[in-house]
């Protein structure tokens, strides 16, 4: 048995694709003993991974100042791992405590945190957003050099820390064998668009649902959690909701069966700083199942995915609807997109 590794998150769910399936499971397969500490998770063992849940805090303020210093640190020390892999920015302080305890510590930056805070809806003041963004840059600049390694999800995040030589571990999906994927038995009475992922304000969920008011000939499947009950109720009150099937949170192992049953994949994130240079995993999953796509018209996405998708203004429901109509009504266009999948995004 190899070294003992402990992954820690106070924000993500226990079966997060990146943390659990790509990192924890890969480490276990490589011979490491792996534990995942996860706030509000059920303690269990799955796929050879020890998952340990702890209460945590839903309040962001308490999570930042109390969880990382008290709850998680105590649980982390009990695990007595030789390597700790941290996944949330508030854990940076606890990482220093673990370093002082003689542990090796890895910081995993899923996002450009300084840019991401600028689009957080729970921070109402523009001045406060700018202040926090600057503060995050300063704190990361001061403290990350003390860690043993930095892992990032994107090249543009790695480029922020050139002297630290971060490892870029992209969020590309782990794709199953297409022919082995069972098609979902979901009842489909008309062409289906599918969106997989978190439903939130900044991911353009309201605009996408509003677009469905102009697409009564199709239905939208949403698979994933809403950011809050309040936001979900607001979405359910939109006129386009009558053309939506909300399928809830689906196990990662079952997602492909829904994608395979759909007709169009869609991802219309709004143009916030942390979105315009990201590569979401969903387009790759849609492509793996042969779905033509509608995506936000970001230059980075257009350059990468090329003719594999139609591009639209994610803030304009009518523009989204027009792109949907164009795909639904043009068989040749859809087939041309599928042909692009054989050579990869951008013809690579």
Instruction: Give the model confidence (pLDDT) of 216-266 as tens digits.
Output: 999 999 999 999 999 999 999 999 999 999 999 888 778 889 999 999 999
φ/ψ (deg, to 5) at 27: -65, -40
Q: Quickly state the pLDDT bin for 347 (edges 50, 70, 90).
A: very low
Long-range CB contact pairs, 72-76, < 8 A, 24+:
72/8, 72/10, 72/37, 72/39, 73/97, 73/98, 75/37, 76/6, 76/8, 76/37
Nearest to 224 by CA among 203, 183, 196: 196
User: Which CATH number fits the domain 178-347, given the four candidates 2.30.30.140, 3.40.50.2000, 3.40.50.10790, 3.40.50.11540?
Assistant: 3.40.50.2000
Say how far apart CA 348 and CA 346 lie, in whole Å. Answer: 5
67 backbone dihedrals φ, ψ, rounded to 5°: -60, -50
The per-residue pLDDT for 1 is 46
Give 253's DSSP letter.
Answer: G
178-347 matches 4-168 in CATH topology: yes
Instruction: Specify the CATH number of the domain 4-168.
Output: 3.40.50.2000
pLDDT of residue 171: 82
pLDDT, averaged across the chain: 89
> pLDDT, tens digit, for every residue of 179-204?
777 878 888 889 999 999 999 999 99
Spans of all domains in the chain: 4-168, 178-347
């Amino acid at each position: 048995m190899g070294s003992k590794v402990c992954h820690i998150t106070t924000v993500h769910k226990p079966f997060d694709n990146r943390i659990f399936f790509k990192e924890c499971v890969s480490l276990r397969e490589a011979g490491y003993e792996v534990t995942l500490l996860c706030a509000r998770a059920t303690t269990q063992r799955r796929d050879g991974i020890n998952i340990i849940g702890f209460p945590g805090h839903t309040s962001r303020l308490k999570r930042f100042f109390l969880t990382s210093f008290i709850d998680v640190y105590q649980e982390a020390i009990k695990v007595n791992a030789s390597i700790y892999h941290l996944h949330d920015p508030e854990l940076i302080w606890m990482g220093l405590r673990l370093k002082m305890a003689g542990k090796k510590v890895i910081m995993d930056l899923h996002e450009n945190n300084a840019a991401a805070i600028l689009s957080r809806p729970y921070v109402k003041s523009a001045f406060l957003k700018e202040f926090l963004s600057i503060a995050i840059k300063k704190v990361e600049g001061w403290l990350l050099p003390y860690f043993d390694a930095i892992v990032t999800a994107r090249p543009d995040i790695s480029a922020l820390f050139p002297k630290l030589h971060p490892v870029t571990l992209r969020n590309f999906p782990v794709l199953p064998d297409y022919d082995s994927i069972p098609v979902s038995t979901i009842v489909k009475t008309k062409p289906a668009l599918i969106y997989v992922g978190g439903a939130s304000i900044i991911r353009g969920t309201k605009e996408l649902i509003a677009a469905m008011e102009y697409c009564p000939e199709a239905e939208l499947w949403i698979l994933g959690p809403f950011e809050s009950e309040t936001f979900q109720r607001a979405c359910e009150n939109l006129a386009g909701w009558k053309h939506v099937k909300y399928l809830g949170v689906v196990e990662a192992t079952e997602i492909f069966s829904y994608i395979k049953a759909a007709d169009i994949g869609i991802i219309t994130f709004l143009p916030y700083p942390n979105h315009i240079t990201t590569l979401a995993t969903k387009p790759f999953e849609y492509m793996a199942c042969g779905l033509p796509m509608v995506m936000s018209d970001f230059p980075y996405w257009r350059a990468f995915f090329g003719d594999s998708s139609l591009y639209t203004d994610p803030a304009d429901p009518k523009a989204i609807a027009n792109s949907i109509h164009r795909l639904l009504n043009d068989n040749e266009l859809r087939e041309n997109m599928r042909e692009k999948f054989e050579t990869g995004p951008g013809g690579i």
